[in-house]
Structure 1
Amino acid sequence: MAAVTAPKQDRSRATRQRLLEAAVACLAEYGWAGSTVSVVAERAGVSRGAAQHHFPTREDLFTAAVEYVAEERSQALKSVAARDRREVVAAVVDLYTGPLFRAALHLWVAASNEDQLRARVTELEARVGRESHRIAVGLLGADESVPGVRETVQGLLDMARGLGLATLLTDDSARRARVVAQWATLVDEALG
């Protein structure tokens, strides 16, 4: 019986994965208003019923999608093979200016107007923020016992998020490159 169950579980995991990836893509492309369970199911190539089997409500689906995004962002940050702090700063900014951040942002905006979603997204983003900070501290080789270091790392993350917002409206890559270079210098000086 185990041989029959394993393929079913594999298919179930694959369906769930496709739904999460489709939800992220839909959020990034269509925003909250255009990202319905039906649209996501169609993009994932599954029925609406299959989508609702895995995620009973729209909020469940998109909260899980943002958790997926958060995990992807964390894994991407952990895998940064930077040789110096300048490369770490650039890698952090890249994470906040890509499609994963765009998808999360659409959910944040929706959560600001929908009470049932707000609590879930707020808790999730607090957890993601702590994890991102922890990973950045490690990558930068930062000693948070030194006054100002914690704030410097948090400032980097906040700056990266701001650049991610600016990228939504225009191709800001030329200005962003100059800002990243300056921030890399400031972070390197602040962390010694």
Structure 2
Amino acid sequence: MHVPKQDRSRATRQRLLAAAVACLAEHGWAGSTVAVVAERAGVSRGAAQHHFPTREDLFTAAVEYVAEERSTALRALFPEGAADRRAVVAALVDLFTGPLFRAALHLWVAASDEEQLRLRVTELEARVGRETHRIAVDLLAADESRPGVRETVQGFLDMSRGLGLANLLTDDAARRQRVVAQWGEILNGVLD
């Protein structure tokens, strides 16, 4: 069966993006080159550079792509909203404890030392942060016109990021579950 060139190109691009996030999460910035990603994706380095002319293009596109995929998946978990805010809290915290967060963190650290990358990552992080906040507001059924609600939702997301950082060094699932339960109660109290 003949697969149109556009479909093959899209599939190659998606394999490269997934491989880039996996490499970044596993090997960090220093160990994640275009050649390493191309090999993992099963494509030539030339094909990778055709899609992404620079390393910065590849990795910022990869983090953005996976963030969009995760946003779609998160919304799909609660297509009609969630009756239980604790389930939403747990799902949002999970965003910050997986490979995407680890990959994004490596990108942030690299961007702190590389001016060209910093500008791109700062813009990307702002977009992803706004989208994550929007999703949290929607899924938590938060009315941001009420005083303190926006700050509470943002505080929850900041705390979630902190749990993700702690998870990089040790698996702290038991403590994280208790914190998730407490934040579910806090959000119920503030948002109801």
With the shorter chain as reference, the TM-score category is over 0.9
Q: Secondary structure at the match of 2:77?
A: coil
Deviations 1:34-76 (A, max 9, x none): 0000000000001111100000000000010111122122112
Q: CA deviation at 1:80?
A: 2.6
For 1:134, the aligned partner's letter is: R
Q: Secondary structure at the match of 2:4?
A: helix
Alignment of 1:130-169 (within 5 A): 130-169=130-169
Q: Distance in 1 between matches of 2:28 and 2:83?
A: 36
Which residue of 55, 63, 75 maps to 2:72?
Answer: 75
Alignment of 1:1-192 (within 5 A): 7-81=4-78, 82-192=82-192
Where do 4+ consecutive residues of structure 1 move more than 2 Å? 80-83
What TM-score do you get using the length of structure 2 for normalisation? 0.95
Q: Secondary structure at the match of 1:83?
A: coil
Q: Distance in 1 between matches of 2:104 and 2:158?
A: 15
Deviations 1:1-46 (A, max 9, x none): xxx8x71111100100000000000001001010000000000001
Q: Secondary structure at the match of 2:73?
A: helix
Asked whether the equivalents of residues 69 and 104 of structure 1 are also in contact (C-alpha less than 8 Å), the reply is no
RMSD: 1.1
Q: Distance in 1 between matches of 2:180 and 2:73?
A: 18
Q: CA deviation at 1:101?
A: 1.1
Percentage identity across paired residues of the two chains: 82
What TM-score do you get using the length of structure 1 for normalisation? 0.95
Q: CA deviation at 1:77?
A: 2.3
Q: CA deviation at 1:128?
A: 0.9
For 2:41, the aligned partner's letter is: A
Gaps (5+ residues) in structure 2? none
